[in-house]
Structure 1
Amino acid sequence: MAKYTLLIYGDSAQWEALTAEQRREHDAAHEEFRRAAGDRVLGGQELEPSPNATTLRGSATLDGPFLETKEALGGFYLLEADDLDEVLALAKLLPEVRAGHSGVEIRPVVDHG
Structure 2
Amino acid sequence: MHPEGPWPAWARDFAVSFRSALLAHPALLPLLATRPVTTPGGLRTVERAARALTDEGFTPTEALHVITTIGTFAIGQVLAEAGSTPGHSAPAGPAGETRVAGRGQQAPCAAAKAG
TM norm structure 2: 0.32
Relative contact order: is structure 1 or structure 2 higher (C-alpha 8 Å, sep ≥ 6)? 1
Q: Give the structure with the larger strand fraction.
A: 1
More helix by share: 2
**TM-score (normalised: structure 1):** 0.33
